[in-house]
Amino acid sequence: MKSLLLACAFSLFTSFIIAQNHVPRNIYCLKELGCELVDSALMQKVAEKCRYSENRGKTVGVFGGSLSVNKESQAAKLMWRQYLNMNVTDYGHGGYGFSSLQGSIIDQVNRAKPHDIYILWASTNDYTNNREPGTPEDYTEADGFDETKLVTQCGGMNYCIRKLRQINPRAKIYIFGSLKFWYYRDGNTKRTGDVNKTGHPFSHYIDLQRQVAERQGVKFFDQDKIPVVTPQTKDRFYMSDNLHMTYDGYANVGVYQLYFLATEKNLKQ
């Protein structure tokens, strides 16, 4: 156990350039990728929570855009596998969001297999592609499951939840809220006053993701509030496009994802 926890400290072994060309095959590879945790002591506490989680050994389907599926995301998913013994299947695809007006997570869900847990990982694409955010009632019994509402973020989310419940009524469904991004000022703060062409800020899309989760009775993981993702860690955790995360970013975000997956609660510090 001691050696395993020491491995989680992710000491710096190789250069960033080598890291970006290597896909990790097991958790020990993260050291070679240059991953180093902001708080390795916290990792030890989270690992203890994982030992007693009801989600240990579960099969997991992950749906979303590039942030849910890029090779760098394996840094977090290796942690899920290592500490929760999860069997993870990626359905995600770059550029996809919930709205049907683009490559849509709806399409991913339509080909989903039965899993114990489904993760709908919200992207930035509905916001950056100027898709209408909609309302939490879009494509629900409130509007008679109006398919014209599938063009909105909320309509697409509600469709995905309904469809996944049909595929496996006993499955747990989690919504991972959108992560901060730095390509636009509005992607990482509520105070800029910036909006997209629909007239809404990025924070509104995240608020609606939470509201859909509450309306549908599913657990919401608020990735926007992960405390280690800050302006000070931006250059370390994000690639030069200021949108996609590095291995190191995913490893540090992965600690908080682990806590949520183990406890169904957002880790507060």
- Residue range 45-61, pLDDT digits in tens: 999 999 999 999 999 99
* Lookup: tokens for 221: 């993981």
Q: Where are the beta strands (DSSP E) in 101-184?
A: 117-121, 172-176
Which residue type is seen at 83? Y
Answer for the pair 94, 70: CB distance below 8 angstroms, yes or no. Answer: yes
Tell me how far apart the alpha carbons of residues 216 and 263 are, in angstroms, rounded to a whole number: 19
Domains with residue ranges and CATH for the chain: 57-263 (3.40.50.1110)
Nearest Cα to Cα of residue 249 among 174, 182, 175: 182
pTM: 0.90
Q: Which residues contact 184 (CB under 8 A, 6 or more apart)?
A: 128, 194, 202
Tokens of 201: 């800020």
Given a cut of 50, is residue 96 above it in pLDDT? yes
Distance CA 109, CA 64 (A): 10
Distance CA 67, CA 76 (A): 11
Rounded Cα–Cα distance for residues 269 and 251 (Å) = 18
Instruction: Report pLDDT for 269.
Output: 61
Q: What is the pLDDT of residues 160-219, one digit of tens each?
A: 999 999 999 999 999 999 999 888 776 777 767 889 999 999 999 999 999 999 999 999
Residue 164, phi then psi, degrees to nearest 5: -65, -35
